[in-house]
Amino acid sequence: MFDRFMISGRFTRLHANHCYYFKWFEKSYIILLLYVVDMLVVRSSMKKIVNFKAKSAKEFSIKD
């Protein structure tokens, strides 16, 4: 379910590690690392992280 959500958001899953997703933008990127029930999101701009968290909260129960 989570994988479908990420792929629908145009994220790419790393083939060597299925818990690593990334998405490139024009001049930046977003990286997401998933470990059991924890998630680390890295981005050069907070605006995209906030947007991603809002979309995720609509699909999943999340805590920040």
Tell me the per-residue pLDDT of 33-55, one tens digit each, with 9 for 90 and over. Answer: 988 878 888 887 788 788 888 88
What's the whole-model pTM score? 0.71
Tell me how far CA of residue 25 lies from CA of 22, 44, 48, 64, in angstroms: 10, 11, 10, 24
Q: What is the pLDDT of residue 37?
A: 79
Task: Check pLDDT > 80 for residue 63.
Answer: no
